[in-house]
């Protein structure tokens, strides 16, 4: 069965359908990773996007029970050059084709993904329609034109937990409040492995509710969409600054910046892949990092009187990849230190969070009440 891909600039691609029989509209993006497609598909940060995989063959090791970053697929569509007909991994429990079918996600294969990626790099992240249904070209373009680009709004409530989740440990060293803006499972596991008991809160939980549990630290997670639209999140972080140790990743990094008046901007086509070089300005070392974001924070809007230190920069385009609020015991990075694209260059950031919570614990003034 044929599948079609329509871009808002008028470009059309025809390929072979796989996955679910469906029509979806989202923002087209590309990911340069050569493996990890299951982790990418289940990353909540991709909500509202149609993912183009630049790796030419996808699906050859199937789907496994231990590679979920969340409980479902969050992207709106999948574009690939070639779908592997066979699965070559004994731990696989599903094919990629069946995985997409289970979650109602359309896929198209046989697309010239190099050509498509060049279009995205030249024209930016375009609004796109993917269909595996019998939709005419005129119907598709009309539907595409009248549908808003969902990725420009606040999407955190679509992917966040609806209720508080408590992950208890036998003898926890720390209690961490996690703001779930679309948190990945790997992040939670990194904190648990370091002795952190987690209380995971929905995205719009008030700062008062966070402080009620008296956490040692607060973690601001990754997530999808436009950071400037996450108004409640920004306001809550503003009220938490200086009260507890804070660590943010990706969207959490952007929200931390917004909470002190730094602005964000949309990147032309974003950073998505497993091998983005980032310079640690404190050590001079280059870290190979996994990334997935379409926005970044604007260096031109920094107020130097706020005690903001830039800690990391992207080697490819010079964008900011990390900041520290030196007087407020808060720091954040734009990339995903929990992922392992080969090197584990960024694992030290979780240890830094632990050290900061430990230091804060040791310097706390005992209450007289």
Whether residue 341 has pLDDT greater than 70? no
Same domain, 344 and 264: yes
Q: Answer yes or no: is 176 within a domain.
A: yes
Report the Cα–Cα distance between both ends of the chain, in Å, rounded. Answer: 71
Q: Kindly name the residue from 27, 197, 321, 338 that is annotated as catalytic.
A: 338
Q: Answer yes or no: is 348 within a domain.
A: yes
Whether residue 18 has pLDDT greater than 90? yes
**Rounded Cα–Cα distance for residues 80 and 33 (Å):** 12
Nearest alpha-carbon partner for 299 in 281, 318, 284, 316: 318
Apex 162 CA angle, 161 and 166, nearest 5: 65
Same domain, 95 and 192: no
Q: Helix, strand, coil shares of the chain as percentages rounded to 5?
A: 30, 35, 40
Same domain, 254 and 295: yes
- The pairing of strands 49-53 and 77-79 is parallel
pLDDT value at residue 305: 61
Whether residue 31 has pLDDT greater than 60? yes
Q: Kindly name the residue from 271, 276, 312, 336 that is annotated as catalytic.
A: 336
Apex 319 CA angle, 126 and 349, nearest 5: 110
pLDDT value at residue 338: 83
Whether residue 369 has pLDDT greater than 60? no
CATH code: domain of residue 122: 3.50.30.20
**Torsion angle defined by CA atoms of residues 89, 95, 114 and 339, in that order, rounded to the nearest 10 degrees:** -60
Active site residue 336: yes
Same domain, 104 and 165: no
Q: What is the DSSP string of 300-316?
A: GG--GGG-EEEEEEETT
Same domain, 232 and 358: yes
CA dihedral sign, ordered 143, 147, 151, 154:
negative
Q: Helices marked H in the chain — which ranges?
A: 37-41, 96-102, 113-123, 137-146, 156-159, 185-193, 207-212, 231-240, 251-259, 348-363
Same domain, 205 and 352: yes
The average confidence (pLDDT) of the chain is 94
Same domain, 187 and 121: no
Q: Answer yes or no: is 343 within a domain.
A: yes
- When pLDDT is cut at 50, 70 and 90, the band that residue 364 belongs to is low
pLDDT value at residue 85: 85
Active site residue 85: no
Same domain, 139 and 160: no
pLDDT value at residue 347: 82
152, 167, 185 - which closes a domain: 152
Report the share of the chain in percent with pLDDT over 70: 96
pLDDT value at residue 356: 96
Q: How many other CB atoms are found less than 10 A from the CB of residue 143?
A: 15
**Rounded Cα–Cα distance for residues 56 and 53 (Å):** 8
pLDDT value at residue 363: 82
Q: Answer yes or no: is 369 within a domain.
A: no
Q: Answer yes or no: is 368 within a domain.
A: no
Cβ atoms 142, 27 nearer than 8 A:
no
- Tens of pLDDT, residue by residue over 290-340, are 999 999 999 999 876 678 999 999 999 999 999 999 899 999 999 998 866
**Rounded Cα–Cα distance for residues 333 and 281 (Å):** 13
152, 183, 203 - which closes a domain: 152
- Tens of pLDDT, residue by residue over 229-246, are 999 999 999 999 999 999
CATH code: domain of residue 231: 3.40.50.880
Whether residue 41 has pLDDT greater than 90? yes
Q: Answer yes or no: is 279 within a domain.
A: yes
φ/ψ of 165, rounded to 5, equals: -120, 135
Q: Answer yes or no: is 105 within a domain.
A: yes
Helix 348-363 / helix 185-193 crossing angle, nearest 10 deg: 50
Active site residue 250: yes
pLDDT value at residue 29: 97
The domain tally of the chain equals: 2
Same domain, 209 and 353: yes
pLDDT value at residue 367: 39
Q: Answer yes or no: is 73 within a domain.
A: yes
Whether residue 48 has pLDDT greater than 70? yes
Same domain, 183 and 328: yes
Same domain, 132 and 279: no
**Rounded Cα–Cα distance for residues 319 and 120 (Å):** 19
- Tens of pLDDT, residue by residue over 81-138, are 999 989 999 999 999 999 999 999 999 999 999 999 999 999 999 999 999 999 999 9
Taking every pair of Cα atoms in the chain, the longest distance, rounded to a whole number of angstroms, is 73
Q: Kindly name the residue from 75, 196, 250, 321 that is annotated as catalytic.
A: 250
106, 127, 152 - which closes a domain: 152
Boundaries of domain holding 234: 156-363
Report which of residues 275 and 253 the model is more confident about.
253
Q: What's the burial of 242, exposed, middle or buried (CB within 10 Å: 0-12/13-18/19+)?
A: exposed
Same domain, 95 and 188: no
- When pLDDT is cut at 50, 70 and 90, the band that residue 278 belongs to is very high
**Rounded Cα–Cα distance for residues 267 and 257 (Å):** 16
- Tens of pLDDT, residue by residue over 139-170, are 999 999 999 888 788 999 999 999 999 999 99
Determine the average pLDDT of the residues in 202-218.
Answer: 98
């Amino acid at each position: 069965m044929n599948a079609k891909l329509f871009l808002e600039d008028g470009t059309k691609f025809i390929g072979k359908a796989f996955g679910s029989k469906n029509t979806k509209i989202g923002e087209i993006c590309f990911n340069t990773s050569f493996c990890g497609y299951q982790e990418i598909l289940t990353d909540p940060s991709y909500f509202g996007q149609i993912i183009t995989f630049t790796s030419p063959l996808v699906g050859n090791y199937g789907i496994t029970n231990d590679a979920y970053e969340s409980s479902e697929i969050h992207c709106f569509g999948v574009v690939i050059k070639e779908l592997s007909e066979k699965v070559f991994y004994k731990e696989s429990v599903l094919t990629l084709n069946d995985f997409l079918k289970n979650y109602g996600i359309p896929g198209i294969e046989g697309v010239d993904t190099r050509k498509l990626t060049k279009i995205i790099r030249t024209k930016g992240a375009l609004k796109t329609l993917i269909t595996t249904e019998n939709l005419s070209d005129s119907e598709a373009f009309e539907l595409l034109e009248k549908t808003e680009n969902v990725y420009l709004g606040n999407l955190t409530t679509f992917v966040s937990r609806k209720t508080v989740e408590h992950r208890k440990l036998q003898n926890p060293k720390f209690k961490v409040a996690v703001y779930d803006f679309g948190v990945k499972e790997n992040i939670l596991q990194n904190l648990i492995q370091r002795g952190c008991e987690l209380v995971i809160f929905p995205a719009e939980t008030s700062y008062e509710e966070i402080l009620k549990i008296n956490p040692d630290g607060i973690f601001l997670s990754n997530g999808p969409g436009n950071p400037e639209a996450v108004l409640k999140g920004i306001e809550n972080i503003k009220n938490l600054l200086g009260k507890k140790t804070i660590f943010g990743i990706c969207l959490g990094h952007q929200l931390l910046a917004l909470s002190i008046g730094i602005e964000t901007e949309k990147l032309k086509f974003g950073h998505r892949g497993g091998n983005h070089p980032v310079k640690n300005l404190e050590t001079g070392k280059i870290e190979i990092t996994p990334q997935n974001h379409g926005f970044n924070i604007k260096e031109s809007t920094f107020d130097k009187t706020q005690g903001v230190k830039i800690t990391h920069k992207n080697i490819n385009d010079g964008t900011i990849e990390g900041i520290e609020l030196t007087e407020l015991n808060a720091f954040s990075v734009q990339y995903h230190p929990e992922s392992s694209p080969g090197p584990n260059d960024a694992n030290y950031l979780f240890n830094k969070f632990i050290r900061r919570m430990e230091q804060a614990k040791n310097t706390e003034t005992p209450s007289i009440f």
